[in-house]
Structure 1
């Protein structure tokens, strides 16, 4: 794959023109990963190699070697490896967009992606965000065991029936409300397995086990959230330059206090992710908002089916011809056919 040539990408745009509708970055979570994704991002934008080397020095391990394509799925053997890898990939995609002069007026992140959102809005530095994600992953690895499953298509009412039945076998909770038809449940293995079977047999859903170790966002992880709070208490936060949209609330906060940030980020570990509500909230305020998934794969892009939201949407990743795809997305984001050039300023 040839490196993406971003020279002059922003110079063709008029920074004096502020475009409407707003651009919204969406940062994906832990499921958005695959072997070799960081290698491809270095090929796409060479400065990402410097970022990867710097991150390796910060964490004290060779991340380039760890996430090399040859490592395969072993690169994600621990949850801390998953979290650091996805956080870095999301940030590299954002850095590559930034080099092309593409900036967003709003952002949000799903689960782990909320930490990329915090970096984007200026609430935490990239270095502190990386350290926090590394610590967060270690806390997850030491937490209670459990499973998670995505279930779709299924209505809220049918999902409630599934959970009520399966919860007789152990802890089971709806932990991600991602779209009108897609949800994630988490809890003890037996209960998750029962929920998968019930959803498939009774409601013709297509469930998929997405995690066999950590029951994220469930009450089982309360002890993990409490432990992670200790790290958050030591973290340096800044006043964000853009609104904060926490998974816990699903609505924009213009001026969150330090106490709010700590509380929302610690309870985020063991409380549901309100992704559907978050997108509905943005669209209610900005009906013509343009959404861009900034990270590996296209999970968030695909969740936004047209029966729910009809907004324009883009994905930055492509499993084939990444450079060509990315350049095409930059061109489409850089110039809005109705409004003219977007207000994009290179950093």
Structure 2
């Protein structure tokens, strides 16, 4: 029996106006958005729908914006009778996966995401770190090469076989980019992000999230979630909390996550949320898996 997975994008997929079309043209979406917006202590609605772009790019705003849109789209998809057997999310997309699996209510998933964005913002400001995308070099070679680079720099996002993101101290990133090009990378591009996300420099954010997670009511359901840091299925609430802690300063094993979904019998994946980044990555990991994007109302018309 073939299985369905829902996957959710992470930071970088956002754009000003995301979700506005849903809000203005779908009653259920408007109701859910209003409920979410009123549960937060800042004006996410204006930032999402009107911008400015600089405000939306701030981690504390970006993360709840992406997760809110993803979860409301999921609700609309489920209204059409499509349910997930498995879920996974890329980086902050994993928080949308917690909500989509029913491990948290939509409101709680967004509230926890909002806390994550704030904690990561606070730590990123202090540590002077960055990230860079390395194209055209095997991840094993990248990991080996980074061992020779002075300073803190780590492979953190294993996005597809020939694209890995590194993170760490800014000067170490610069040295790493030179070393990785010498090792055969086609490109080494610094990314316009506000911090060294998923690297060990972010551990303080993980400690704060660990405390925060204790305030939430998690429950297991029959939907299985493949975790970023291990590419294994979470089995219980303790494992969910451990993933929340470790994921903020641990790797996103996206290649292995997709391979795990395939091994579990997934043949169809819905990418739910802004953009089509994950669809592109999935095609490079496994061409056999069918991927559909759910981002706008028109995407619901031909999904059955």
TM, length-normalised to structure 1: 0.80
Structure 2 equivalent of residue 185 of structure 1 = 166
Structure index of larger Rg: 1
Within a 5 Å distance, the mapping from 1:1-347 to structure 2 comes to: 20-43=1-24, 45-69=26-50, 71-143=51-123, 144-165=127-148, 167-168=149-150, 170-200=151-181, 203-253=184-234, 255-256=235-236, 258-286=237-265, 289-306=267-284, 308-317=286-295, 322-328=296-302, 330=303, 334=304
Partners of 1:41 and 1:262 in 2: CA distance? 32
Alpha-carbon distance in 2 for matches of 1:158, 1:44: 49
Q: Is the 8 A contact 1:173 1:218 kept in 2?
A: yes
Partners of 2:156 and 2:80 in 1: how far apart?
A: 36
Residue 290 to residue 134, structure 1, CA distance change in 2 (3 Å) = same
Deviation at 1:38, TM superposition (A): 2.0
Deviation at 1:41, TM superposition (A): 3.0
8 Å CA contact 2:64, 2:113 repeated in 1: yes
Deviations 1:40-85 (A, max 9, x none): 332453422222221121013332222223x231232421101111
Structure 2 distance, partners of 1:78, 1:237, is 27
In structure 2, distance between residues paired with 1:36 and 1:66? 9
- SS of 1:238's equivalent in the other structure is coil
In structure 2, relative to structure 1, the CA distance for the partners of 1:325 and 1:242 (3 Å cut) is closer
Count of residue pairs the alignment pairs up: 301
For 2:298 and 2:243, the matched residues in 1 are separated by 39
User: 2:21 and 2:177 mapped to 1: Cα distance?
Assistant: 35
> Would you say the 8 A contact 1:149–1:208 is kept in 2?
yes
CA displacement, residues 280-336 of structure 1 (integer Å, 9 cap, x when unaligned): 1121221x511111111111100023564421111223xxxx4434423x2xxx2xx
Deviates more, 1:231-240 or 1:35-44: 35-44
Question: Secondary structure in 1 aligned to 2:230?
Answer: coil
Give ranges in structure 2 of 5+ residues lacking alignment.
none
The equivalent residue for 1:3 is none
Whether the 8 Å contact between 1:148 and 1:187 is mirrored in structure 2 is yes
- Whole-angstrom distance in 1 between the partners of 2:92 and 2:206: 13
5+ residue gaps, structure 1: 1-19, 335-347
**Does the CA-based 8 Å contact 2:146-2:153 persist in structure 1?**
yes
Whether the aligned pair in 1 keeps the contact of 2:143 and 2:154 (CA below 8 Å) is: no
The alignment yields a C-alpha RMSD, in angstroms, of 2.1
Cα distance change of structure 1 residues 230 and 158 upon mapping to structure 2, 3 Å threshold: same
Structure whose residues are more often strand by fraction = 2
Question: TM-score, normalising length from structure 2?
Answer: 0.91
User: Could you tell me how far 1:239 is from its partner in structure 2?
Assistant: 2.2
